[in-house]
A and B are shown apart, each in its own frame.
Chain A
Amino acid sequence: MKRKPVPSEAVSETSFPDHTVIVPPNRLKHAINREGPSTAIATDALFRAEAALEDMKIEFAGWMNQECEVLESAREILKVKGPAPALMQKLFRAAMDVKGQAALFGYPLAAQIAGSLCLLISDAPNPLRIPTAIIDRHVDSIRAVVREGVRQYDDRTGNEIHLRLAEMVKEFLSGEIDSSAAEIAALIEVRAPKL
């Protein structure tokens, strides 16, 4: 074990046979203000941020519509120009955006359905073989959820649609992936509807 001398603000390195541990200077310590002996952490900044996010909510419905338009546009281009890796990537990114934001915007079911589409594209050995019909069902379902204002996780109709889509994905992937049905089922998390 070798240890190099440590001048102030220098990087400290300690070498081992197969790795080196490096302790860089903490460049962010100037942002730490210790107002006293207490080790409690102030949370007023968090309150302000939450209030700021609350103020933005008025825009979320409009933003959700815009995300749907981007997703539909990506689907249309794929249909018109035919399956191509770059176009499928574009559709995937649009679906990921819906997956990542729809719950925050108030449409958790849309996020779940987008997640199913993302899983389909990311786990298919050859995404270009994904039938257009499955992609259409996902995209159209997301649009329907937003159009109908379905904002609950446990909406019966919405969850039936989600379950059906998950079955379609499972069926397609089963035929494409050399895996057991159990492994595929584990890939797909489906929220059971509260009937």
Chain B
Amino acid sequence: MEPDPRQGYGRGGIAMIRIEFQRLRFLVVDDNQHMRRIVRQLLHGFGSREIYEAEDGASGLEAFNGHNPDIVITDWAMPILDGLELTQMIRKPDANANPYVPIIMLSGHSEKSRVVQARDAGVTEFLAKPIAAKALYERVLSVVLNPRPFIRTQTFFGPDRRRNVNPNYSGVERRKGSEDAEIIPVAPLDSRVVHGSKSHELGAKASVG
């Protein structure tokens, strides 16, 4: 009898890579109480037991400095300090303990221009609402298993905005570097994912770094 994939093992009982969510501390920042409840429920389902919440960007920044979370999940449109401003505050080098913290922006905005704007503010991953368990799971997997290097320029500090280095790219190169520039390798997310069911396809699309 095949092992039940819901127990976390694939065909033939092959042991897997498992994210120990109970070891991760999350900060959820959203001015909507229902959304905070939904994200909390999903994170609990994943196995997380340490989840802090804030209902606007200002208290989110306070919670970030006070609780030192491993991952921040933030909305965009919020009063006082919105998600972009919160991200920019967190990303200020030397301004706080961990400017490299993964920030997942969860937003009702879905237009490409908005995604680019979020990325340019220093967001690590962008997730458009309505939220789905699988999409959130993929984003968390991505930041845990495939952390990206950071880039600092005169006008930007944040995760490398390029997911792939494409040798065939022939467009504008904003980052000139030098001809001898070295590609800094970061361990890629394993593309060989054993799916618990056919409906769950993880990994390759979201996480190549």
A residues at B contact (CB < 8 Å) = 1, 14, 16-24, 26-28, 30-53, 56, 63, 66-67, 89-90, 92-93, 96-97, 99-104, 111, 118
Contact = CB atoms under 8 A, between A and B. Distances in A.
A165 B147 CA distance: 43
A38 B10 CA distance: 10
Nearest to B108: A100
Contacts of A27: 70, 98, 100
Contact of B10 (A17, A20, A40): A40
A72 B200 CA distance: 38
Contacts of B5: 43-44
Nearest to A46: B137
B202 A43 contact: yes
Query: Among the interface residues A17, A35, A40, A111, which one has the most CB atoms of the partner chain B within 10 A?
Result: A40
A21 B151 contact: yes
A89 B185 CA distance: 43
Interface residues of B, number: 78
Contact of A19 (B37, B98, B177, B180): B177
23 contacts: A16-B176, A16-B177, A18-B154, A18-B177, A21-B151, A22-B150, A23-B184, A31-B24, A38-B14, A39-B190, A43-B8, A43-B196, A45-B19, A46-B196, A49-B42, A49-B133, A53-B41, A97-B108, A100-B130, A101-B35, A103-B130, A104-B38, A104-B131
A35 B137 contact: no
The B interface, classified by DSSP as helix, strand, loop or mixed, is: loop
A72 to B, nearest CB: 16
The 9 closest A-B pairs by CB, nearest first: A49-B45, A36-B15, A100-B108, A100-B129, A35-B15, A40-B194, A39-B190, A52-B45, A104-B130
A41 B193 contact: yes
Nearest to A29: B144
A52 B184 contact: no
Nearest to B131: A104
Given A36-B16, A39-B190, A104-B130, A47 B196 contact: yes
A56 B38 contact: yes
Contacts of A93: 31, 77-79
B18 interface: yes
B23 A30 contact: yes
Interface in B59-108: 70-71, 77-79, 98, 100, 102, 107-108
A90 B78 CA distance: 9
A33 B17 contact: yes
B51 interface: no
Contacts of B130: 100-104, 111
B138 to A, nearest CB: 9
Given A27-B70, A49-B41, A104-B130, 8 more contacts: A20-B152, A31-B23, A41-B17, A41-B203, A43-B5, A44-B196, A47-B196, A99-B129
Contacts of A21: 149-151, 160, 184
